[in-house]
Chain A
Amino acid sequence: MFHNRAEALALALPAAIFAAVVFLVPVGILLSEGFRSADSWTLSAYSDFFSLPINRTVFLRTLKLGAAVTIVAAVIGYAAAYAIICLPAASKGRMIGLVALPLMISPVARTYAWIVILGRTGIVNQALTAVGLTDAPVRILFTETAVFIGLLQLFLPLMIISLVSALENLPRDMVPAARVLGANWLQVFWKIILPLTKEGLVIGGTLVFTGSMTAYITPAILGGSKVLMLETLLYQRVTVASDFVSASVIAFILIVMSFSTNLLLKRLATARNRK
């Protein structure tokens, strides 16, 4: 398309400079805080961070909730995405619109709605009491369960949309052919659907996992300070203790976790491929 490489580079230059000046440089400065002591470079901020039990708990909780949300989103996402691609074209468009609808609503509004739904007098507790599963209202708000539900609802659309576009590229007769040849649904999924849609799963998985780990509003509102996550801990370190070094350490951990997830998912996808 371009006459030479220089022309392409010249066109990309303004965007690259912009990204470098307003993103890479400030992020670099911020992250370097965590590796600096008075006169040298050190990892002591990291060992200090992980030496505190509370920080380890928060780190593991963030990892655990992020992983749980991603796995459940993938399971529900595959089912929903498969159902969507089987619909006629017009209904498919409408359905994708409906899936994407929550993304257009502010996360603050969505999360506040969960406070009403998950509360002692909310619809979930009413339903549990009505079917006789519990006598007194169960406490859901301000627990890990509440944060899990909030995050899953927040990020599930991203997984579904990624999987829909991956499944769309799957040849239509692939699944019926496998079924005719005697494969059960689990085999169809494991041997046909999963290998052929892994790109979508990697994209969806990365978006959901990174989103869950870095979300602030949902854990802050639905978990409060009883369910601290890395993001809420970061906020606490800055606003209360003015501890920018710990904040920089947490920011670095989050970035590393996001990149690692992407690499790990890609690796898993290619490992299956080689087989």
Chain B
Amino acid sequence: MLNKTMLASAGALMLTMGIAHAEDKTLTISVYAFAQDEFKQIVYDPFEAKCGCKLVVETGNSVERLAKMEANKAKPVIDMAVVSMADALSAARSGLIDKIDTAKLSNFGKLYDIAKDPNGDGMSVGYTFYSTSIVYRTDKMKIESWADLLKDDIVSHIAFPNVTTNQGPPALYMLGEALGSNTPDLKGAIRAVGAKADKIVTFYVKSSQLVQLMQQEEIWAAPIGRFSWSPFTKLDLPLAWATPKEGQTGGMNVMVLTKGAKNRDLALEFMNFWLSTEIQTKLAEKLVDSPVNAEVKVSDEIANNITYGEEMAKSLKLIPSDVALDNREAWLSEWNAKVAQ
């Protein structure tokens, strides 16, 4: 009897140690605070079950998260992070991230070319992208060009993204393209917006605010990211997504691997899991993120609410990260001098 009890105890002890060992395998990731319930259900929980490891998720805006990575540079806490393309380049320049061994990502080949190595330094892989265009009232106007936004009968009914938002620089970039003055400093576009700043209803910071402004007929048009489109479709208003002749712009978010990460292989395994057709499809179906995996197939209804398809991926005119990074401060000063003044 005593032997049996001892055996059982030893067994229980070994089992506990086994569990403890699995718990020891911890992956720490740093992500945007957005849609965390969906991410937990679709990505985090299934990955934990698959790897037998524990996932620690840190959230916040990119400034906070990058500042934290910089502070812990000598002894990294985060294993992998998701940031914007420009922030990835900034992290690379500060020596915070490492090259990604894409040979270990079996799903890498399935990605659209635009997502494979967005900054051309081998340090990031795109996991979602979005197009930026103009939502507008079809009964009040017709938008065929980005320059239409500044027409006299339209300009006093638009909200333009502030230069400080993710949509601001891409919208200015396309406006510059339409006005024929497209330099990396965006001076032409900023000056054009500045000249009509008094007429423009507002320079928005949060796209969620636009739905209310559109509903109140405060605005009739605004450049937005495709991820904000869905709530507009629920308004009882004749709204359309413009396809301006200069094309659509947008942005991409990428995954990066921290330099000196403690759990490098696990981080790569997690990235590969996130990029898999199954996970990318589920995220698209929940309208959380647009897929960069070319094998993802979704219904027309879903496709209509996200940024989807190879043609779209090829047509997006993204601002190169080095241009964004090197000009960010200059854009802001120019904007403050010409528009916000």
Q: Which residues of A contact B (CB under 8 A)?
A: 52-54, 57, 112, 115-116, 119-122, 139, 141-142, 220-221, 224-226, 228, 236, 238-242
Contact: B329 with A116, CB < 8 Å? Answer: no
Pick the most buried of B209, B213, B216, B329: most chain A CB atoms within 10 A of its CB: B216
In the complex, residue of chain A having the shortest beta-carbon distance to the beta carbon of B160: A225
Contact: A225 with B63, CB < 8 Å? Answer: no
Contact: A241 with B332, CB < 8 Å? Answer: yes
Contact: B216 with A122, CB < 8 Å? Answer: yes
Tell whether A116 pairs with B216 under 8 Å between CB atoms, given A53-B341, A141-B201. yes
Contact: B328 with A239, CB < 8 Å? Answer: no
Contact: B340 with A54, CB < 8 Å? Answer: yes
B145 at the interface (CB under 8 A from A): no
- Residues of chain B within 8 A (CB-CB) of A52 are 333, 336
- A43–B99 Cα gap in the complex (Å)? 42
**Between A and B, how many residue pairs show CB distances below 8 Å?**
64
- A238–B197 Cα gap in the complex (Å)? 24
In the complex, residue of chain B having the shortest beta-carbon distance to the beta carbon of A237: B332
Apart from A54-B336, A220-B205, A239-B61, what 17 extra A-B contacts exist at CB < 8 Å?
A53-B337, A112-B212, A119-B213, A119-B216, A120-B216, A120-B218, A121-B218, A139-B201, A141-B202, A142-B201, A142-B202, A224-B203, A225-B164, A228-B340, A240-B164, A240-B332, A241-B329
Contact: A241 with B328, CB < 8 Å? Answer: yes
Q: How far is the CB of B142 from chain A (nearest CB, A)?
A: 22
- A122–B197 Cα gap in the complex (Å)? 23
Categorize the interface residue count of chain B. 20 to 34
- A238–B213 Cα gap in the complex (Å)? 27
Give me 10 A-to-B residue pairs in the complex whose CB atoms sit less than 8 angstroms apart, sorted by A's number: A52-B336, A53-B337, A53-B341, A119-B216, A120-B218, A141-B218, A225-B164, A225-B202, A236-B332, A239-B61
In the complex, residue of chain B having the shortest beta-carbon distance to the beta carbon of A224: B202
Contact: B204 with A224, CB < 8 Å? Answer: yes
B307 at the interface (CB under 8 A from A): no
- Residues of chain A within 8 A (CB-CB) of B336 are 52, 54
Pick the most buried of A53, A57, A141, A225: most chain B CB atoms within 10 A of its CB: A225
- Residues of chain B within 8 A (CB-CB) of A54 are 336-337, 340-341
- A50–B190 Cα gap in the complex (Å)? 23
B30 at the interface (CB under 8 A from A): no
Q: How far is the CB of A81 from chain B (nearest CB, A)?
A: 35
- Which 7 pairs show the lowest CB-CB distances between chains A and B? A54-B336, A240-B164, A142-B202, A225-B203, A224-B202, A119-B216, A225-B162
- A53–B336 Cα gap in the complex (Å)? 9
- Residues of chain A within 8 A (CB-CB) of B212 are 112, 115
Contact: A239 with B337, CB < 8 Å? Answer: no
B217 at the interface (CB under 8 A from A): yes
- Residues of chain A within 8 A (CB-CB) of B213 are 115, 119
Contact with A along B26-57 (1 / 0, CB 8 A): 00000000000000000000000000000000
Tell whether A240 pairs with B328 under 8 Å between CB atoms, given A116-B216, A120-B216, A141-B202. yes
- A200–B47 Cα gap in the complex (Å)? 61
B235 at the interface (CB under 8 A from A): no
Contact: B337 with A226, CB < 8 Å? Answer: no
In the complex, residue of chain B having the shortest beta-carbon distance to the beta carbon of A232: B205
Contact: A238 with B164, CB < 8 Å? Answer: no
- A25–B63 Cα gap in the complex (Å)? 24
B67 at the interface (CB under 8 A from A): yes
- Residues of chain A within 8 A (CB-CB) of B205 are 220, 224-225
- A188–B148 Cα gap in the complex (Å)? 61
- A119–B340 Cα gap in the complex (Å)? 21
Contact: B218 with A119, CB < 8 Å? Answer: yes
- Residues of chain A within 8 A (CB-CB) of B63 are 238-239, 242
- A236–B200 Cα gap in the complex (Å)? 20
In the complex, residue of chain B having the shortest beta-carbon distance to the beta carbon of A243: B329
- Residues of chain B within 8 A (CB-CB) of A122 are 216
- Residues of chain B within 8 A (CB-CB) of A119 are 213, 216-218
- Residues of chain A within 8 A (CB-CB) of B203 are 224-226
Q: How far is the CB of A244 from chain B (nearest CB, A)?
A: 9
User: In chain B between 190 and 247, which residues have their CB closer than 8 angstroms to a CB of chain A?
Assistant: 197, 200-205, 209, 212-213, 216-218
Q: How far is the CB of B152 from chain A (nearest CB, A)?
A: 15
User: In chain B between 303 and 336, which residues have their CB closer than 8 angstroms to a CB of chain A?
Assistant: 328-329, 332-333, 336
- Residues of chain A within 8 A (CB-CB) of B218 are 119-121, 141
In the complex, residue of chain A having the shortest beta-carbon distance to the beta carbon of B156: A139
- A190–B328 Cα gap in the complex (Å)? 55
Q: How far is the CB of B304 from chain A (nearest CB, A)?
A: 29
The contact of A242 among B67, B200, B333, B340, by CB within 8 Å, is: B67
- A228–B205 Cα gap in the complex (Å)? 12
Q: How far is the CB of B190 from chain A (nearest CB, A)?
A: 13
- Residues of chain A within 8 A (CB-CB) of B67 are 242
- Residues of chain A within 8 A (CB-CB) of B200 are 226
- Residues of chain B within 8 A (CB-CB) of A238 are 63
Q: How far is the CB of B212 from chain A (nearest CB, A)?
A: 6
- A120–B200 Cα gap in the complex (Å)? 14
- A228–B202 Cα gap in the complex (Å)? 12
- Residues of chain A within 8 A (CB-CB) of B340 are 54, 225-226, 228
- A30–B340 Cα gap in the complex (Å)? 27
Q: How far is the CB of A65 from chain B (nearest CB, A)?
A: 16
